[in-house]
Amino acid sequence: MKPDLHIVGAGLTGLTAAIEAAERGWRVTVAEANPRPGGRARTLAAPYRANLGTHAIYVDGPWWAWLERRGLTPPIVEAPRHATLVRAGGRLGPWPAELSQVIAALPTEAPVEESLRAWLLRHVDARTAEAIVGVVFIFTFDHDPGRLSAAFAHQRLRRAMAGGVRYVTGGWSTLVDLLAERAAGLGAQIRTRTRVPALPAGPTILATSLATARQLTGDRSLTWPGARVTTVDLGLRADSGPDWFRVMDLDARIYAARYGLADPTLAPPGHELIQISAACAPGERKADAERRVQHLLDESWPGWRAALQWYRSALRTDCTGAIDLPGTTWHDRPAVSRGDSLAVATDQSAAPGLLAEVGISAAQLALQQLGETPMLAEAHMRV
Ligand SMILES: Cc1cc2nc3c(=O)[nH]c(=O)nc-3n(C[C@H](O)[C@H](O)[C@H](O)COP(=O)(O)OP(=O)(O)OC[C@H]3O[C@@H](n4cnc5c(N)ncnc54)[C@H](O)[C@@H]3O)c2cc1C
């Protein structure tokens, strides 16, 4: 009989770990501080079903394959065929087709030691390099992705350009509900409204943020660089909508998408939901980032102020995932294994993957530490 396994946190990582551990005969208890599972993958209740964090699910990745094997894939939608508006080098216009060609023609490998900007400048002109740096913001959330390790940024750029991005119909809570139901069906106890104040005794997976794991363990080495981002969510009347699905301000590092166009269930009939991320440099205040966002909307959607029904904004620090600076890879991040019976599985842990996939592959490494062979495509060693 295996001992009980404690999992702290019922986000995507904790729920994935709970399912796989329960499948292998562990008696699993998941403690979740919130009234609902999901963590950063929760979706607000109607009328505007905004995702709190996660938007894009990558169907080309190992976690999607893991979900497929279990019949747990949620309904998904692709981005609609509307235009993508881009600001690069000061000019707002359609996505420049030549940018996709230049990105595709970059060498297949980029160095770990060099910064993305320095590496790009060896292959493309300065203006194109800055545009590519701006694109990398979209899936790293960093205010200056040019400073990141070229290998880290380039691997993610290739994944993002490969076209595996989809959106979960009904928001990410649809997938969270599927995971929580499966975990419960396998016998895992999910205790919501249960904040764990100290490390439980016995085999434990901390599936929280890295910052919370640092507090719970008292281990100050549990840190890694992350990004700062201001998010702005808008509910709007749909009558005045422009013809674009997304706007990428590559200069100001702002990404806006009309998720309600892709999935009409996210907003009431005749309304739509738009969610926006703006990278913040250290010290930039939320109000200043919001002003930049509003300025972009004024230019790209002149009627938005009159159509506004609902507005929500937040400054998010270190919660969009890990970023690797030159000279570092995911192997250098805080190790998942913290001794015989404790594992820390977060999206800033030493595990491969893109965004939320990092926490999930960290959970697989945590199971490995407990003597299990993980099922996630051999804990794929590259992004
Ligand atoms: C704005 C934004 C946009 C993002 N976009 C994407 C995207 O498009 N694609 C993508 O893949 N990823 C994206 N991410 C990242 C993604 O949201 C996270 O990587 C992922 O949700 C992390 O899941 P997790 O389970 O590891 O952690 P969390 O979701 O943080 O779950 C941890 C859980 O632990 C609980 N907890 C904490 N402390 C305790 C305690 N003491 N006791 C009990 N419970 C506790 C918390 O309440 C929480 O529910 C985005 C993140 C943000 C913020």
The domains of the chain are located at: 4-65+169-224+324-379, 228-317
Q: Give the relative orientation of helices 62-69 and 356-369 as an angle to the nearest 10 degrees.
A: 70
**What number does CATH give the domain 4-65+169-224+324-379?**
3.50.50.60
CA distance 55 to 75: 14
Please choose from 40, 140, 192, 233 the residue to mutate so as to test ligand 1's pocket, defined by most ligand atoms within 8 A of CB.
40
Taking only the tens of pLDDT, the chain with its 383 residues reads 577 999 999 999 999 999 999 999 999 999 999 999 999 999 999 999 999 999 999 999 999 999 999 999 999 999 998 899 999 999 999 999 999 999 999 999 999 999 999 999 999 999 999 999 999 999 999 999 999 999 999 999 999 999 899 999 999 999 999 999 999 999 999 999 999 999 999 999 999 999 999 999 999 999 999 999 999 999 999 987 899 999 999 999 999 999 999 999 999 999 999 999 999 999 999 999 999 999 999 999 999 999 999 999 999 999 999 999 999 999 999 999 998 899 999 999 999 999 999 999 999 999 998 887 766 544 454 55
Q: How far is the CA of 319 from the centre of ligand 1 (A)?
A: 7
Sheet holding 27-31, edge to edge: 189-191, 27-31, 4-8, 204-206, 342-344
CA distance 22 to 295: 50
List residues bridging with 28 in a β-sheet: 5
Annotation: CATH topology of 228-317? Polyamine Oxidase; Chain A, domain 2 (3.90.660)
Strands 56-58 and 165-168: antiparallel
Q: What is the DSSP letter of 50?
A: -
> What does the pLDDT read at residue 378?
47
For ligand 1, whether the C-beta of 196 sits within 6 Å is yes
> What does the pLDDT read at residue 372?
79
Q: Dmax over Cα atoms in the chain, in whole Å?
A: 64
> What does the pLDDT read at residue 382?
55
> What does the pLDDT read at residue 379?
43
> Which residue, judged by its Cα, is nearest atom 48 of ligand 1?
39
